[in-house]
Amino acid sequence: MILLLIFSVNCIAKKNNAKVDSLLVLADYYVDRDYSKTLFYAKKAISISEKAYDSEKIVWSYYYAAKASAWLKLTDQSLRYIDMAIKQDIRDPLLHSVLLYVKGVNYGRIGMHKLAIDEFKKVLEITENEKSAECKLVRAKAYYALADENTSNVYLHKAMRIINSIPKDQLALTRRTFRFQSSLYQVMGMYFLQKKQMDSASYYFTKAYKQSFHDDVKPKSEFLVSFGDYYQKLGDDDKALKYYLLCMDEINRSDTAAFTRDGPGLLEKIYLIYHKKGDKKNEEKIRGKYYQEQHEFARDLNHNVLKTVNLELNKKMKESYEHKKKSQLAIFCIIIFVILVIVTSSYLYIITHRKKNAIITEKQQMLILKERQTVNLSLRVEGALDEVIDAAKKNKIQFWPLFQKLHPDFVKILTGVNPDLKTTELILCAFIFLGFNTKDIAEYTFKAVQTVKNNKHNLRKRLGLPPKQDLSIWIRSLYHNNINE
């Protein structure tokens, strides 16, 4: 009877272990594809593994839950999963290092950059002598994260060297959660973009985008916004706007968590382009959404900071109670630290917000000044055009000089088609360019209508136009196409 009971328990344990393994495989499969599903399967794995008392599987379950929570902006939940995992008996350096890495990511996303850097450096210490492909990838990730915090290409190159040192067959066998080549290439591109090395930036952005398809990274928002930044740096606002709007569509469709992290910045970029283009309708629409999302972003950031600080504070106080090593002075220092963190975070947010508003105001003033200059120039051009048309109607001798002054490249463009054009033919082209019909030209030049028709016919031959080609449209298109080049 006892043997049968032991056998039954072992069978149930094996069955539960198999279930947990399957759930962890599913959780890993949805990394960078759908973090809500990663979290769903990780929670199910936690429930089963805790009943089976398998320490390693419990920790892996907590890890996937923590990672998914971090990417879904559930900072306090992610940190709680990490704390529960660390309480287990972790002897595997890989497990220990990935938990600290996710902890650092959480700190970085709520502005606690010093704490984030400390966690990433701990990862480097733990993985220093580890030779497995997955440990190397975690080490590379730590360098990548440090580069993101410090904007240093030294760390980026270290991360790249580690990845390149891993044989491709070994890399293919690693779990999905450790792969991040596409993100690394994207950060490399951002580094070169900041340095205005446009060819290198384009190379790495393209490489990152292609790698994201190879790795089946579903949300493409971070890669699309990089292309937008690239074209904005080149001064091509139309292409920049195209990629920013594609990024917005991608976020709305499959990466709503990205909007809570990056939405205000993306909306600001779109707003500035619409403002520059004079698209008032879309400008007002985006501006309203921008201020709303900026407010929500600041609120969520402060909320997460407070939750994280409270979590850390509660943990410290619990340790103090459990080990009876903390004094009232230490608790007072922690409270002061919490207040300083909140005050510092609020101060930094206010300063950043003011700087952004100052930049937007300055750009608005510059655009208004340019608009005024453009209006003044348009008025001057309209006045000159009226003078030319009046001279044409009165057949004044000043017509041809005035027309050439208004359109200095006109003769050059037409003689580029036929260098042998006569002055009378060029003047006829000018009348046609201004929109006068055959009857008008005959009236203003005191010629017979048939004479003007014959002159137009001869001009078409001299310019090599086919019979059905409209002469007026052709001259205008030729002129404007050459002017815009």
Cα-Cα-Cα-Cα torsion 313, 315, 317, 319, nearest 10 degrees, comes to: -150
Query: Which pLDDT score, from 0 to 100, does residue 337 have?
Result: 80
Q: What distances in angstroms separate CA 306 from CA 296, 298, 303, 313, one per listed residue?
A: 15, 12, 5, 10
Sign of CA dihedral 317, 319, 324, 325: negative
Mean per-residue pLDDT over the chain, rounded: 79
Q: What distances in angstroms separate CA 282 from CA 155, 267, 276, one per listed residue?
A: 41, 11, 11
Query: Which pLDDT score, from 0 to 100, does residue 316 have?
Result: 53
Query: What SS3 state is found at 464?
Result: coil
Angle at 230 between CA 227 and CA 236, to 5 degrees: 105
Could you give the percent of the chain with pLDDT greater than 90?
18
Query: Which pLDDT score, from 0 to 100, does residue 358 have?
Result: 63
User: Which parts of 72-197 fold into alpha helices (H)?
Assistant: 75-86, 93-109, 113-126, 133-150, 153-165, 168-173, 181-194
Asked whether residue 206 carries a pLDDT value surpassing 70, the answer given is: yes
Closest CA to 223 of 186, 176, 194: 186
Nearest-angstrom CA–CA distance, 58 and 60: 6
The mean pLDDT value for 450-466 works out to: 90
Nearest-angstrom CA–CA distance, 140 and 131: 13
Residue 119 contacts residue 86 (beta carbons within 8 Å) = no
Asked whether residue 370 carries a pLDDT value surpassing 60, the answer given is: no
Nearest-angstrom CA–CA distance, 60 and 57: 5
Query: What SS3 state is found at 205?
Result: helix
Sign of CA dihedral 137, 186, 104, 121: positive
Could you give the percent of the chain with pLDDT greater than 70?
79
Burial of 480 (0-12, 13-18, 19+ CB in 10 A): exposed
**Structure token pair of residue 397:** 């001798």
Asked whether residue 454 carries a pLDDT value surpassing 60, the answer given is: yes
Asked whether residue 266 carries a pLDDT value surpassing 70, the answer given is: yes
Residue 455 contacts residue 428 (beta carbons within 8 Å) = yes
pLDDT band at 6 (very low <50, low <70, confident <90, very high): low
Lowest-confidence pick of 181-185, 266-270, 329-333, 459-463 = 329-333
Query: Which pLDDT score, from 0 to 100, does residue 376 have?
Result: 36
Query: Which pLDDT score, from 0 to 100, does residue 271 have?
Result: 82
Query: Which pLDDT score, from 0 to 100, does residue 377 have?
Result: 39
Q: What is the pLDDT of residues 127-185, one digit of tens each?
A: 999 999 989 989 998 988 888 777 667 888 888 898 889 898 888 888 888 877 888 88
Q: What distances in angstroms separate CA 39 from CA 67, 251, 253, 334, one per listed residue?
A: 8, 19, 19, 32
Query: Which pLDDT score, from 0 to 100, does residue 374 have?
Result: 36
What is the CATH T-level fold of the domain 394-484, as seen in this structure?
Rossmann fold (3.40.50)
Q: What phi and psi, each to the nearest 5 degrees, are found at residue 211?
A: -65, -35
Burial of 135 (0-12, 13-18, 19+ CB in 10 A): buried
Q: What is the 8-class DSSP label of residue 396?
A: -
Lowest-confidence pick of 293-302, 316-325, 408-417, 454-463 = 293-302
The mean pLDDT value for 114-133 works out to: 92
Amino acid identity of residue 306, one-letter, is L
Contacts of 37 (CB under 8 A, 6+ apart): 26, 27, 30
